[in-house]
Amino acid sequence: MQHSPPSDPLLAPALVRLAAWLQGEGYRFTTVTPATHARVNARPENRVARSLRDVFGWSRPFAASLLPAAATDPLRAAGLLLPASDGLLRSAVRFSTLGGTLFAHSAFPTLEEDAVFFGPDTYRFVDLVQQELRRQPLPAGGRILDVGCGSGAGGIQAALAAADAAPRLALTDINHRALAFAGANAAHARCGPADLAQGDLFHALEGPWDLVVANPPYLNDDKQRLYRHGGGRWGEALSARIVREGVPELAPGGRLVLYTGAVMVEGGDPLFDALRPHLEACGQPWSYREMDPDVFGEELDEPAYADAERIAAVALVVQRQR
């Protein structure tokens, strides 16, 4: 078990400060797919930012005079204020609205190895988690683990949805930067104390858990960036590991809620084919379904997906019997 502070101690406080200021300014933004983001930003009139949404949502370059010190000071303190072309600046952080609060994540485009991703998948993931908690509320004092947490949106929203149960939230990731963002997002959301730990999946903290939520990377990324690459032939390996290693970590009555992507090949689902023997062998109730039949279609242009028909968003729920 390894508890680790963020690599930059100034990052999380700066993000909390900036989120509070933006919330006070009435800022709201819904993050779209990278393909849509690129199309919108390519319009000539969107070359330079004119508003807070342009700076912190659309990640457009801006003139220094656009933002007050209340915004630039925390950006500069955390190394998030970067130079752009033509004497302009840009923010290395974005903020998206989800469930009435703001979540910090990496600026567009997310090219860095340690980028913290947030997008339409995040909204679907959180909706799935909330559906599960409405179907079966968390027990009093229940332990929630967001494994591979990224921005922490899944675990934070689960803790907020189960606030009456006074849950205990843990956020784990292999990425130091993701933990800093997740910790800041938890503090801003006021979801209660959150235990942050760096490590590989379930090795970071000890179970058992009443609710495990996971939205792992599921693409086959040729650069093998942490926030995108899932490993295996189709990017399915990490999702399969979460299921194999996660079910034994559940408390009696506990649930594993996995939102991920599944590549469909000649009408078949290789992820489900890999998971099914383990699910049947574990002897616990489970359900598997498609939430969206077609996501990240632009990835099909990549050589790794030459044989793929589509990428679907899928949901798996496994519940340990009492």
**7-43 tens-digit pLDDT:** 578 899 999 999 999 999 999 999 999 999 999 999 9
Asked if residue 151 lies in contact with residue 31, where contact means CB atoms within 8 angstroms, the answer is no
Rg (CA), the chain: 20
Please state, in angstroms and as integers, the Cα–Cα distance from residue 201 to each residue in 131, 198, 224, following that order: 24, 9, 17
What SS3 class is residue 317? Answer: strand
* Confidence at residue 226, expressed as pLDDT on a 0 to 100 scale: 57
Beta-bridged to residue 172, according to DSSP, are 147, 197
pLDDT value of residue 93: 98
pLDDT along the chain (322 residues), means of 10: 52 96 98 96 98 98 97 95 96 96 96 91 97 96 97 98 96 94 97 93 92 88 64 79 94 97 94 93 95 92 91 97 85
Three-state DSSP at 128 gives helix
Helix ranges (H only) for 207-306 are 237-246, 270-282
What does DSSP say about strands 310-319 and 286-292: parallel, antiparallel, or unpaired? antiparallel
Contact between 31 and 104 under an 8 Å Cβ cutoff? The reply is no
> What one-character DSSP code corresponds to residue 20?
H
pLDDT for position 123: 97
Residues pairing with 312 in the sheet: 262
Query: Residue 152, SS3?
Result: coil
Six token digits for residue 90 = 């840009």
Q: Is the peptide bond before 193 cis (omega within 30 degrees of 0)?
A: no
pTM assigned to the model: 0.93
| Residue in this structure with the two tokens 């938890």, named with its chain if needed | 186
pLDDT of the residue at 5 = 42
Cβ(143)–Cβ(168) under 8 Å?
A: yes
